[in-house]
Structure 1
Amino acid sequence: MGETLKEELVFRSNSLENSNQELKGEKISMSLCDGSCNAIEILQSLNIYRKTSMFTDVVLVIEGWDYPCHKAVLSSNSSYFRAMFGGHLKESHLNVIEIQKISSPNMSTLLDYMYGGSLEIDEDNVVGLLEASDLLHMSRLRDACVKFLENQLHPCNCVGIMKFADSFSIFTLSEKSKKLMLEGFAEVSCHEEFLSLSKDELVEYLSNENLVVRREEEVFEAVMKWVNKNSLERCKNLKELLELVRLPLLDPAYFLEKVEMDKTIQGCTECFSLLHEARMYYILGNQVNSLRQRPRR
C-alpha cells in the first residue's frame, strides 16, 4: 500500500513537470509575496514586539522615559546606532543607553518611523526631526526635512531658515534662503525676522552685489528700521551701514526730506561726510567718483 502511494505521487509529480515543459518549455514558479508586502508584515510584527517589549535587547532613555527597542532595527535605520552597536564602543555592551539632545516626543516619532516606514512632517515638528535625524545620521529623513523647509521658504521666514541651515551646515537650504533674501529684499525687510539680523549679518547682506531693489530708498528705509529697533545699541553702527546705502542714487527731494532731516542721522556727526558726498553728486553728477553712485542690478 505504501509503495503504491509513493509510486502514484512520483507519477503525478513527473506528470505535472512534463505537462509544464510541454506547455511552456520551462519550469513554472509562483511568488508567495512581493518584497514590500513581506517587509511591511515584518515591520508590523517588530513594532508590536517593541510596544510589548518582546525580544527587545536595548532600552533608550530619553528625558527620563524608557523606550525598549531592537538593536537591529535601530542600526538598519541609523548609522549612528550602527556604529554604536556594531563597533567597539562601550555602548555596544550596554542594555540601557541614555540619548541626549533629542526630546522624548521627537524620539517617539522617530521610532514610529523606524518601525513603521512613514511619518508626517509638518511645520510643528520639522525642526526637531531635522535636528534629531542629523544627530542620528538618518540621511533620508534629514533630506526630507530639508526638502520640506525649502518648500516653505517665504520672505517672512527665509532669514530664520537661513540661520538654521547655516547652524547645521545645510548648504543647499542656506543658499536658497539667501537667494530669496536677495531677490525679495523689499518684502523681507518688512518682516520681524529682518530686524533680528546681527550687525555683521546685515553688513554682509547689504554688501552683496546680487541685492535686488527697485529703488535705493528701500535700502535706506530698511537700514533705519533696523537701527531704530534698538537705537541705543545700534546707533554706533549707523555710519558703517549708511556706507552701504548708495545715497547719491536717492531722489534729491527724498534725500532732503527723509535723510537730512532724520534726527538719528543728525545726531551722528560721523555720517556728515556721506551726506556731503550725496549733495556733491546732485550738483556735479559723474564728476564725483564713488562706488555709491553705481546703480545696483
Structure 2
Amino acid sequence: MAQRAAVESMPECNRVNKVEGGESALHIQDLDVPDATLRVEGERFYVSRQCLASQSPYFRALFFGGGVESSKRTIEIKGVRVQQFTVLMEHCRTSRLVLDRDNVLGVLETADFLQLERARLLCCKFLERELHLSNCLGMMAYAWQLGCTQLYAAARQVVLTHFSAIVTEEDFLSLPKETIADLLASDDLSIHKDDMALEATLRWASFDPKREEHFLELVELVRPESLSLPFITELLTRMKSSDPRAKLICMLNEHFPASWSLGRSMRRTSARETLFVLGGPHDQEQQALYQFHTLSGRWQSCAPLQRKNLTQYSVAAVGNVHEEQNEDNSEAWDE
C-alpha cells in the first residue's frame, strides 16, 4: 500500500466554501471573494485572484500581468493534469498537502510549473524521506533537473555515504562525467581506501570506449595516498590483456597524473566517521557486526566476527576512542 502523508504549512487563505452541485470546483476566499474561474481538463475551479497571486508568481503574472488573461473571468490552464491541480488548489486554500508515493512526482512537477514554492518544498521533503540505495541516483538527477537543491543534496549524500554499494548498480554506468567527477572530488565520499574510487573510475570509463578520453581527468581525483598496495598488486597481476580496463591502466602508466606526484591530497573526512557495533549472545562462535554511517544515520550489516566475545557487546569508532565499562560488564566506546 502506498504511503500517504498530509503535510501542512502556514495558511494563506483561511475560509473555504464548496460549490454546490456535482462539479469538482473549489472556492478560495478570504483575501478576496472568488472573482475568476480556472478550467483544467474540463473541470472548473472558482478562485480568488488575490489569494493565488499571493502564493505564486505564475498566478500573479496570469491575473495582474497585463496580458489577455488578466481581463478574462474564465481562464483555461493547459499543461497540467486535473488530479494534481486539485491537490494543489486544496493546498492553496487549506495549507494541507496530501501526498503519497503515487502522486508526489506529479504534484511536484505541477507545483514547479505553477510556481507554488511552498508545495514544491513539501514535495521535496516527502521525497527526501523516500530516499534509498535503489533510487538515490535517479532522484539526484531528477532533483537537479527540477532545480530542487535540498533534495539533490540529500540524494547526493546517500550516494556519497553508500558509494561502495552504488558503484555496483547499472545506473552508476549511466551517470555523466561531471557527476562522477563531483563524487570523486568530495571529501565526504565514504570509503576507507581510494581503491574503491579507482575501481569505480575504471568501471565507468571502460563501459564505453568513448569515455577513455575522460579517464585521465577523472583519475586525477583519486587520492594516491589512500590506495593500498595489495589492491594495486592484485589489479595488475590478475588483469588480462582482453580486459577493457587494461588499456586504461596502460594510459595511466604512460600519463602519470600530475596531482599524484604532489602528494598533498587530503584524507576523506567520512573515513573518520564510521562506527562499528558488535552484538549478539557472547558465547556464540561468531558475533553479529554492524556498521553505522554517522553522516546518514543508517545501519549496515557486516560479515560476522568469527570468534567468541567475552562481553555482552562492544562499540568501536574509527579514530580516537574512549572506553567505558558498564554495570553489566559490557564496554561502550565513544569517539
Return 158-167 or 69-78, whichever deviates more: 69-78
Tell me which structure has the larger Cα radius of gyration.
1
1:123 aligns with 2:101: yes
**Letter matched to residue 229 of structure 2:** P
- The one of 5, 19, 28 equivalent to 1:46 is 19
1:290 aligns with 2:262: yes
- Indicate conservation of the 8 Å contact 1:84/1:91, yes or no: yes
Q: How does 1:3-82 map to 2 (within 5 A)?
A: 42-43=16-17, 45-46=18-19, 48=21, 50-51=23-24, 57-61=36-40, 65-72=41-48, 75-76=51-52, 78-79=55-56, 80-82=58-60
Within 5 A, what are the aligned runs for 1:133-282? 133-228=111-206, 230-247=207-224, 249-259=226-236, 261=239, 263-268=243-248, 269-273=250-254
Please state how far the C-alpha of 1:147 moved relative to its aligned partner: 1.1
Change (3 A) 1:53 1:75: closer
Decide whether the 8 Å contact of 2:38 with 2:75 is kept in 1.
yes
More strand by share: 2
Post-superposition CA distance 1:251-292 (Å, at most 9, x none)? 333313324625323324422236799xxxxxxxxxx94338
The DSSP-based 3-state class of the residue aligned with 1:68 is strand
**Structure 2 contact 26–46 (Cα < 8 Å) conserved:** no
Unaligned residue ranges in structure 1 (runs of 5+):
1-35, 278-287
The alpha carbon displacement at 1:222 in A equals: 1.9
Residues 36 and 49 in structure 2, CA contact (< 8 A), matched pair in contact too:
no
Query: Displacement of 1:198 after TM fit?
Result: 0.2
**1:248 positional shift:** 5.8
C-alpha deviation, 1:247, in angstroms? 4.8
The question of whether the paired residues in 2 share the 8 Å contact of 1:245 and 1:292 is answered with no
Aligned counterparts of 1:66 and 1:134: Cα–Cα separation in 2: 22
**CA shift digits 1:53-77 (9 cap, x unpaired):** 999952424xxx2121213179448
| Contiguous gaps of at least 5 residues in structure 2 | 1-10, 28-33, 270-335
Give the secondary-structure state (helix, strand or coil) at the position aligned to 1:120: strand
* 8 Å CA contact 2:111, 2:120 repeated in 1: yes
Superimposed CA distance per residue, residues 163-185 of structure 1 (whole angstroms, 9 cap, x where no aligned partner):
22223333222222223322322
The residue aligned with 1:284 is: none
Distance in 2 of aligned mates of 1:113 and 1:276: 55
Quote the offset at 1:127 in angstroms. Answer: 1.8
1:280 alignment counterpart: none
Over the aligned positions, Cα root-mean-square deviation in angstroms equals 3.6
Secondary structure of the equivalent of 1:244? coil
> Counterpart of 1:51 in 2: which secondary structure?
coil
Q: Given the two structures, how large is their TM-score scaled by the length of structure 2?
A: 0.60
1:78 Cα shift?
A: 4.3
Per-residue CA shift, 1:62-104, capped at 9, x if unaligned? Answer: xxx2121213179448423244224422112234534344234
Q: Matched residue of 2:158: which SS?
A: helix
Q: CA deviation at 1:204?
A: 1.8
Q: Distance in 2 between matches of 1:210 and 1:196?
A: 22
